[in-house]
Amino acid sequence: MHRVMVHQANYDNCRVAVDRAFDLFPLEITGKKVLVKPNALRASNPEQGIVTHHAVIRAIIEKLEESSPAEIIVGDNPGMMSYGANEKTFQQTGLMEAAKGHYRNIGSEAVEVDFAPKFLDRISVSRAVLEADVVISVPKFKTHGLTIITGAIKNSYGIIPGALKAKLHQKTGEAVRFSEMLVEVFRLKVPDLCIVDAVLGMEGNGPASNDLRQIGQIMASDNAVALDATMARMMGLDPQGLPFLEMARQTGLGDYNADSIEIVGDLPILSNFKLPPKARTVPTGAGEFFASRIRLRPRADKELCTGCETCVEQCPVSALSMVNDFPEVDPELCIACFCCQEMCPEMAIQLR
C-alpha cells in the first residue's frame, strides 16, 4: 500500500506541511549527500507559478539543515538547449536565495550511462544526481501539453542536461512514445521522497500558462506513481488514461489504483479543472486525447509575441522560423513536442 500526504498549506506556513512529510516518510540523511531538485523550468517570476515556489524549497532546506546531512545540493537543468542549470533561472525565481548557499549548477558535469536502446544506447545524466545518496524531488502541480500532467515523474526529466532533452524529444516525438522514454529516464534515479508544491497550481495550457489555480495544498509521497495518480484524480482525470503512469506501473515502479493508495489528509477534487487543449477533430476519451496530441500544432499570438526568437532557438527539429518578425511553424516538420510553448517567455504560444 502506498501513502500520499495531502496537507493544507500556503506559502507562509508550508514548513508545517514539509515537517509532516518528513515525519510520514522518514529519510536517513545524517552524513549523506542529499539532492533537492525543484521544477525550475525557466527564468520567470515566482507569481507566474511556472516553477516550484521558493518558499517550499526554503522550508525543505531549513528542515534538512536541522537534520545534519553531509552535503545538501539544490539544482536542476532548466531549458531545452543550453547546458547547465543557469543561474538566471534560479535568481529570478527566488530559488537561489531559498537554496541558502546550497545551489549548484548540476548541468556543468554529466556522466554517461546505459539507456533504453530503442531511444538511445547511452545518455548523459547530471553527476550530482547519480552521486546523491538521497534525492528529494519537488515538482509543481501543473498541466502539460504533452503528458497532460507534470508532477513527480515528469520532474525527473530535469536530471538530463540541456540539449540532450531536446534530442530525446526529437527521438520520441509523439506523446505515448515520449511517456515511455520519460519512465526510462525516471528509472535511472528514483527519488526517495517527492514533495509537490500544490499551493498555487496551473491548469489549461501548461506547463507555462496564465491559468493559475489556488489549490492550497502540499502533497508528498515516497512513491511517485501514487503521487502523480493522486494529482491526476484531483484534476478529474482517470490515472489509467495517462500512458506514463501505466508504463510506470507495468515496470514495477508503483501502482495508480485507488485501492492501493492511502490518502493521509483530505483529497480535494478540483471542480471544472481545465486540462490542456486537444485537437477539435478528435473525440473525447483517454486514448483519443493522447492521439490528439499528434494533431496539435503551436501558434503564436500576435498580440503577445515580442519576436524574441526563443521558440525558434528551442525547437529541437527546426520547425519554427521567423517570417516578418513573427514565428511560423512548418506543420510537416513539427513533432508536437511543445517545447516552444514551454519556453516562450511571453506565454504567447497556444496549441491549436
Residues found near ligand SF4 in the complex (CB under 6 A): 298, 300, 305-311, 315, 317, 319-320, 327, 329, 334-340, 344, 346, 348-349
Residue 296 Cα to chain centre, angstroms: 21
* Of residues 190 and 317, the one with the C-beta less far from ligand SF4: 317
Q: Whole-number minimum distance, CB 302 to ligand SF4, in Å?
A: 9
Q: Whole-number minimum distance, CB 349 to ligand SF4, in Å?
A: 5
Distance CA 324, CA 45 (A): 30
List residues bridging with 329 in a β-sheet.
320
* Of residues 96 and 329, the one with the C-beta less far from ligand SF4: 329
* Of residues 164 and 319, the one with the C-beta less far from ligand SF4: 319
Q: Whole-number minimum distance, CB 340 to ligand SF4, in Å?
A: 3
- Measure Cα distances from 268 to 6, 115, 140, 313 in Å: 9, 38, 17, 40
CB 106 within 8 A of CB 124: no
* Of residues 269 and 323, the one with the C-beta less far from ligand SF4: 323
* Of residues 158 and 173, the one with the C-beta less far from ligand SF4: 173
Q: Whole-number minimum distance, CB 323 to ligand SF4, in Å?
A: 11
Which residues contact residue 152 at a Cβ distance below 8 angstroms, ignoring those fewer than 6 apart? 137, 139, 191, 194, 196, 221, 224, 227, 228
Question: Over the range 215-252, which residues count as b (16 or more CB within 10 Å of their CB) and which as e?
Answer: bebbbbbbbbbbbbbbbbbbbebebebbbbbbbbbeee
* Of residues 203 and 342, the one with the C-beta less far from ligand SF4: 342
Q: Whole-number minimum distance, CB 347 to ligand SF4, in Å?
A: 8
Largest CA distance in the chain: 58
Cβ neighbours around 88 below 10 Å, total:
13
* Of residues 28 and 330, the one with the C-beta less far from ligand SF4: 330
Question: Over the range 151-167, which residues count as b (16 or more CB within 10 Å of their CB) and which as e?
Answer: bbbbbbbbbbbbebbbb
Question: Which position has the grid cell 511553424?
Answer: 329
Distance CA 235, CA 189 (A): 27
Does an H or E element contain 62, and which?
Answer: helix 54-66
Q: Whole-number minimum distance, CB 338 to ligand SF4, in Å?
A: 5
* Of residues 94 and 307, the one with the C-beta less far from ligand SF4: 307
Q: Whole-number minimum distance, CB 39 to ligand SF4, in Å?
A: 19
* Of residues 32 and 299, the one with the C-beta less far from ligand SF4: 299
CB 216 within 8 A of CB 266: no
Nearest to 200 by CA among 189, 216, 179: 216
Question: Which position has the grid cell 495550457?
Answer: 205
Q: Whole-number minimum distance, CB 245 to ligand SF4, in Å?
A: 23
SS3 percent helix, strand, coil of the chain, rounded to 5, is 35, 25, 45
Q: Whole-number minimum distance, CB 297 to ligand SF4, in Å?
A: 7
The residue type found at 308 is C
